[in-house]
Amino acid sequence: MSKHAYVFPGQGSQFSGMGKNLYESNAVAKQLFEDANSILGFNISEIMFGGTDEQLKQTNVTQPAVFLHSVIAFKTLNDAKPDMVAGHSLGEFSALVANNVLNFNDALKLVSIRANAMQKACEINPSTMAAVLALADDKVEEICKQVQDETGEVVVAANYNCPGQLVISGSIKGIEIACERMKAAGAKRALVLPVGGAFHSPLMNPAKEELAAAIEATTFNTPSCPVYQNVVAKAVTDASEIKNNLIAQLTGAVRWTQSVQAMVADGATHFTEVGPGKVLQGLVQKIYKEAIVNGMS
Which residues pair with residue 86 across a beta bridge? Answer: 7
Give the relative orientation of helices 91-98 and 239-248 as an angle to the nearest 10 degrees. 170
Number of neighbours of residue 31 by Cβ within 10 angstroms: 12
Secondary structure percentages of the chain, helix, strand, coil, to 5: 50, 20, 30
Query: What's the residue count for the chain?
Result: 297
Listed in order, strand segments (DSSP E) in the chain are 3-8, 84-87, 127-133, 155-162, 165-171, 189-192, 227-228, 235-236, 268-274, 292-296
Question: What gap in Å lies between CA 213 and CA 247, rounded to an integer?
Answer: 9
Closest Cα partner for 154 from 204, 115, 112, 114?
204
Alpha-carbon radius of gyration of the chain: 18
Residues marked active site are found at 89, 200
Residues ≥6 apart with Cβ < 8 Å to 182: 132, 135, 140, 143, 168, 190
